[in-house]
Amino acid sequence: MLRVALLSLLALPLCSQQRSHKAHEHGHAKLNIAFETTTGAPVGSVELESPAESIIGFEYAAKTPADKAKQEKALATLKARFGEMVVLPVGCKMTPAKVEVHLDGQHAEVHAEFNVRCAGPIAGKSISFGFSKVFPKIDEVEVQLLAGSQQAKLEVQKDKGSLQIAK
Ligand SMILES: [Zn+2]
């Protein structure tokens, strides 16, 4: 139950609000990481919201076969290489739960959710990033971490910096 509560709490800032996508800045993404606990074998979720331009290369509805193929390829890359973009402690495995494109007027967002399972404790370990290695247009990511009772924020520019999970 705790997990459900955590995940819905996490989902709030990104999903439910009717935020104007006009405000998004290309190249700037948001990432939420949540673990209910950092001991034992933690489970959690990772959620990314990025301007579609930074991942797919365009923000209109894909209609031509070429655009559809481009979009499909980009989303497949996102799923397959997410572990390089968000480098979790060794033993943690991410599984894609949802990858969608939300169109909104002139803009579009890619929204991705991954479930995480870790084989062992993650307390004291760190999380690093490699967004621009996979999608070079992503140069800034606002990261929020919720791990047990810990809350932390980090602005990752060009993949620099890491988040330390509290002991
Ligand atoms: Zn846009």
- Residue-wise pLDDT for 31-54, tens only, equals 999 999 999 999 999 999 999 999
Q: Is the pLDDT of residue 98 over 90?
A: yes
Q: What pLDDT was estimated at residue 23?
A: 72
**5 alpha carbon – ligand 1 mean position (Å):** 31
Q: Is residue 105 part of a domain?
A: yes
Q: Is the pLDDT of residue 147 over 80?
A: yes
**59 alpha carbon – ligand 1 mean position (Å):** 6
**154 alpha carbon – ligand 1 mean position (Å):** 23
Q: What is the pTM of this model?
A: 0.86
Give the integer Cα–Cα distance in Å for 167 and 150.
10
Give the integer Cα–Cα distance in Å for 36 and 42.
7
Q: Is residue 132 part of a domain?
A: yes
Give the residue numbers spanning the domain of 110. Answer: 2-12+26-150
Number of continuous H segments (helices) and E segments (strands) in the chain: 4, 9
Q: Is residue 164 part of a domain?
A: no
Give the integer Cα–Cα distance in Å for 55 and 78.
8
**46 alpha carbon – ligand 1 mean position (Å):** 22
Q: How far is CA 28 from CA 54, 78, 118, 139, 142, in A?
A: 8, 16, 28, 6, 8
**137 alpha carbon – ligand 1 mean position (Å):** 12
What does the pLDDT look like over 60-97, one tens digit per residue?
Answer: 999 999 999 999 999 999 999 999 999 999 999 999 99
Q: What pLDDT was estimated at residue 22?
A: 54
The tokens of 109 are what? 């967002």
Report the domain count for the chain.
Answer: 1
Q: Is the pLDDT of residue 1 over 70?
A: no
